[in-house]
Amino acid sequence: MKVVVCENYDDLSNKAFEVIKEQVVEKPNSVLGLATGSSPVGMYQDMIKDHKENGTSYKDVSTYNLDEYVGIDRNDPQSYYTFMNENLFSGIDIDPNNTHVPYGNTKEDCEKYEDAVNGVDIQVLGIGQNGHIGFNEPGTPFDEPTHIVDLTENTREANARFFDNDINKVPTQAITQGIGTIMKAKKILLVANGANKADALKAMIEGDVNIECPASVLQKHPDVIVFIDKEAASKLSK
């Protein structure tokens, strides 16, 4: 696991973008695993800016998103399907048919998405305040495939800011790639910023590998790079 402490959010976003660009330039038909949330937005903005200014093309790239809320319409302003279109897909030349966001609430929906996710070259991750990756909450088995998860109150509180700060509007379930799915990616790129992520990052990087901090499993992946700002790194001992 390579940890890079960056000056600020813009710096970490740009460094993460450079990893994505190098991958896409070297392999134009790359498969990218993508994440939502505030952490990767800066990286997506850099991807759009570079595409418009330098012509970096994503026309042969395929993408698979980590997760989606259950019980929310795809076109809802707070759906992750909408988020990806607004924050990335509409700004680059990717074929909409090559973009995939999980959807549904059944075991069959999970199995179908699990089977579809294949050969991910780089999986982008954020990290939750409780150490979750995707929507894999503490206690999730490390070999879990794509599944339906009950969201913890902690996670719903953290996401309430997107729902008029009303936790009652936040969905109670999500469909998510499992930790087992995530770990199949050839390379993992995790981005995080802010002091509220410091405890989770310390547990992920320096703690024991334990299902109580789902992200700690990344210690066992052969190729992980972590870009964090100084606040997020503030509790690391080295």
Q: Is 136 a catalytic residue?
A: no
Helical pair 9-26 and 41-54, crossing angle rounded to 10 deg: 50
By C-alpha distance, which of 77, 79, 40 is closest to 171? 79
N- to C-terminal Cα distance for the chain?
A: 13
Closest to 92 in 3D by CA, of 57, 54, 63: 57
| Residue 137 annotated in active site | yes
Task: Identify whether 85 is a catalytic site residue.
Answer: no
Whether 116 and 177 have beta carbons less than 8 Å apart is answered as no
Please list, in sequence order, all residues whose beta carbon lies within 8 angstroms of the beta carbon of residue 165, skipping any fewer than 6 positions away.
Answer: none
Contact between 180 and 213 (Cβ < 8 Å): no
The b-or-e profile of 122-142 (16+ CB within 10 A means b, else e) is bbbbbbbebbbbbbbbbebeb
Please say if 51 is a catalytic residue.
no
Whole-angstrom Cα distance, residue 205 to residue 178?
20
Q: Which of 65, 87, 130, 159 is catalytic?
A: 130
How many whole angstroms from its chain centre is CA 169? 22
Q: Which of 67, 68, 144, 229 is catalytic?
A: 67
Q: Which among 137, 147, 193, 229 is annotated as catalytic?
A: 137
91 token code pair? 């700004």
Q: Which residues are catalytic?
A: 67, 130, 132, 137
